[in-house]
Amino acid sequence: MVNARKRFGAASVRARAFAGATYLSYVALAIGVGASPTLAQSADRAAAKTSAAGDPDARARDALAQMTAEEKRGLLYGSFPMLLAPAKRPAGVASGAGIVTGVPRLGIPMQVQTDASLGVNNIGQRKGDVATSMPSGLLQASTWDPAVVEAGGRMIASEARQKGFNVMLAGGVNLVRDPRAGRNFEYLGEDPLLAGTLVGHQILGIQSANIISTIKHFALNDQETGRNVHSVNMGEAAMRESDLLAFQIGIEIGNPGSVMCSYNRINQVYACENKFLLTDVLRKDWGYKGYVMSDWGAVQSVNALTAGLDQQSGEQVDVKRWFTKELDVALSNGSVPASAIDVAALRILRSMYATGVIDHPLEPTPIDYASNGKVARATAAAGIVLLKNEGNVLPVAQTASRIAVIGGHADVGVISGGGSSQVTPVGGWKLQVRSGTGLAAMISRKSYGGTAPLDAIRAAFPQAQVTFDDGTDVARAASVAKAADVVIVLAEKWATEAEDHADTSLPDGQDTLIETLAAANPRTVVALQVGNPVQMPWAGKVPAIISLWFPGQEGASAFADVLSGKVNPSGHLPVTFPASVTQLPLTKVPGSDAPAADKMTRATYGINADTKPFDFSYPEGSDAGYRWFDAKKEQPAYAFGHGLSYTTFKYDGLKATGGKTLAATFTVTNTGNREGAAVPQVYVRAPGKAKRLIGWAKPMLRPGESKTVTVTADPRVIGSFDEKAHRWVVTPGTYVVELGYSATDTAATANVKMQRQTRKP
């Protein structure tokens, strides 16, 4: 595990982009970026919080004992406020994704729920309401920095609370398995350890504001096509070693008050009535004590209650009011025992006590958007990924006198992903364009807001003449490019909930535009605003490529700081950029050619039954992302873990030890002439298996400075899940340890001998 003192000297931490008091409060946290001790340290913090709330189990039992049957029932379902008749909407209560009745006489408040992971979604709020819009999940994951992600969680939760919400539907951690999946931008990448660690810290941040965070969408809801009808068929071991592991780690670190079950079926059984997932795995194996809420419109029967679902969300958007009217029927015919209500109500109450929702009543207060914006900007600065920088074309010198900015509505704002995670940024939308098809077109718009890249670039290069061309006329744009010292092209591909991409290419002729600009000016820099990896057939023809993902309302300022060199980029890819779709496990998105449903059977919010039910399985099993590429010996365009800096680093002195515990110690040196943060990564190949990330660090180093890092492997990431033994097993043998700059760029390797060991599920 990471040697805290050596890795993060106070001076180096203070020198980071997050200078000042806000960042320093996270110093204590920044000591654990690697594997198992991070889990232990963080779990301790979550436990300490629980005990500060008294004994939440005892308090919940006490409250339950005083409640009437009706009051208990009230906790078990929520309403979608926008579908309530105005007269039925509770006065003075914020309108978001849901409300759940409280028990005022016992001091139990109403649960007021809002989306989501990227800030307070304001769909239900009065017109003109805004919130700080954070960079997308993929950008946050590109920071590889739990402290940064936690700071973001803390900020968005403080806004949620100030706006009158005490439950955030944040904590999306579905794994990126396919770069065409529409919601990947919300999530934290393809690796269970990285994604699980980061989501755990996001939840810690959110719950520090005394509100409940969820972790979602449990489980294997990794694509949008047919999300309400498809079944992902996967063996238990593969599930436990991939998607479920991300949830398991996230829950251990963050201890979220709630888990949200997903729309899809898993091995034929709908997630929200999947006893294997909700009871056997979540409760029995993982000891989870919070409650399970459904995704909006994801409940299929009243039996969900006995399978492990505790709360039906937004009951109007389900096919039936399962936990009210249908539950009455089930109770009277005995198919659901009355005790099931107590079990569910108790879990909900417990989370309300454990997170402090009950002890800290909501009192909406004014929001300091200026200081929250700094959190969004610092996050973007830490996660922007420099993919290519040939001939050190970046940073752009302050002596550049003519800069051409082209495309991507760079004169308007930055693009954001669509759907329930979307946040109307401070300043409001500057441009909204109808896009998408079907449900996606109904629920979202391609929207631009926040600081415009053009304005940010002008501010960062005050001496330069910065011209803009929208890129719609390729010849005109090329002549603008020709006249410039440097060209910055903003390429974009919008993504949204409820729709997957048909392919991985940039739309609307942008490849031709970029090729033409590169031919007109060899100093052409491409910045991608994308929710997924994309194909870049022109990559060899431009000297520099930057991934901004969807960078949030302050992303353009962070981008301009990277261009000018004020920020030294330190983002690293949390996903693989394939060189071609033929390298992917599946050449098409499953269900993309499934027969259309006879009718939109359940055309309500979140329900997208526009195809007939279909089943599929992932050929890669637990080997998602870089592991599949490793197993198949395929070379990606840009590998998982890749990211450049304006300085250079050397990783050496690798010493690995085995036995019962696998540990790797090595030295990281800044060999360039700028201060910067490295992200050394350690991968392990267990006998006969594809490589796997076991830990990393993000030390900040001054020129010439060295730090020693130790990373220790959690047995779950080097072991396999043995279904028969119902345990994790590390098999004895020789394991290859790789210290790398990315999943494909290895600095050193070492062999260790491991002894057999096992661990509970």
Q: Which residues bind ligand BGC (CB under 6 A)?
A: 97, 115-116, 169, 216, 295-296, 420, 606
Taking a C-beta distance cutoff of 8 angstroms, is the pair 206, 157 a contact?
A: yes
Measured from the CB atom, the residue of 197 and 420 that comes closer to ligand BGC is: 420
Tokens of 390: 């040939």
Minimum Å gap between C-beta 118 and ligand BGC is: 11
What phi and psi values does residue 733 have, to the nearest 5 degrees?
150, -170
Query: Hey, which residues does 524 pair with through a beta bridge?
Result: 487
Residue 124 or 537 having the CB closest to ligand BGC:
124
Instruction: Please give the single-letter amino acid code of residue 153.
Output: G
Q: In whole angstroms, how close is the CB of 134 to ligand BGC at the nearest point?
A: 16
**Closest separation in Å from C-beta 137 to ligand BGC:** 12
CA distance 430 to 410: 11
In the complex, minimum distance from the CB of residue 616 to ligand BGC, in angstroms, rounded to a whole number: 20
Closer Cβ to ligand BGC, 78 or 569, answer by number: 78
> Are the C-beta atoms of residues 100 and 338 closer than 8 Å to each other?
no
Give the number of other Cβ atoms within 10 Å of residue 474's Cβ: 16
Our CB check for ligand BGC shows the closer of 119 and 621 to be: 119
Q: Which is nearer to ligand BGC, 215 or 662 (CB)?
A: 215
Shortest CB 166 distance to ligand BGC, Å: 15
| Of residues 97 and 488, the one with the C-beta less far from ligand BGC | 97
Residue closer to ligand BGC (CB basis): 46 or 116: 116
Residue with tokens 């029995």: 284
Cα 219 to Cα 40, 246, 518, 576: the distances in Å are 24, 10, 43, 22
Return the number of the residue (26 or 187) whose C-beta is nearest ligand BGC. Answer: 187
Question: Could you tell me how many residues make up the chain?
Answer: 761
Burial environment of residue 659 by CB neighbours within 10 A (0 to 12, 13 to 18, 19 or more): exposed
The residue among 110 and 452 lying less far from ligand BGC, judged by its C-beta, is 110
For residue 440, the minimal CB distance to ligand BGC (Å) is 11
The minimum distance between CB 610 and ligand BGC, in angstroms, equals 15
Closest CB to ligand BGC among 254 and 571?
254
- Rounded Cα distance, 471 and 451, in Å: 20
The tokens of 79 are what? 């309403």
Angle at 694 between CA 583 and CA 143, to 5 degrees: 75
Query: Can you read off the two tokens belonging to residue 485?
Result: 């010292």
Between 182 and 192, name the residue whose CB sits nearer to ligand BGC.
182
- Three-class secondary structure of residue 591 per DSSP: coil
> Quick one: CA torsion of 742, 746, 750, 751, rounded to 10 degrees?
70
Nearer to ligand BGC, 137 or 189 (CB): 137
Residue identified by tokens 């031709």 is 512
Backbone dihedral region of 370: left (phi > 0), alpha (psi from -120 to 50 degrees) or beta? alpha
* CB of 170 vs ligand BGC, minimal distance in Å: 8
Q: What angle do CA 273, 275, 276 make, to 5 degrees?
A: 130
At its nearest, how many Å lie between ligand BGC and the CB of residue 234? Answer: 20
CB of 214 to ligand BGC, least distance (A): 8
- Give the amino acid at 223: Q
d(CA 731, CA 746): 24
Q: Smallest gap, in angstroms, from Cβ of residue 190 to ligand BGC?
A: 19
Q: How far is the CB of 606 from ligand BGC (least distance, A)?
A: 3
Q: Which residue is nearest to ligand BGC (CB)?
A: 606
**Terminus-to-terminus CA distance in the chain, angstroms?**
22
CA distance linking residue 557 with residue 376, whole number of Å: 10
CA distance 732 to 716: 14
Query: Measuring CA to CA, which residue among 392, 443, 360 is closest to residue 164?
Result: 360
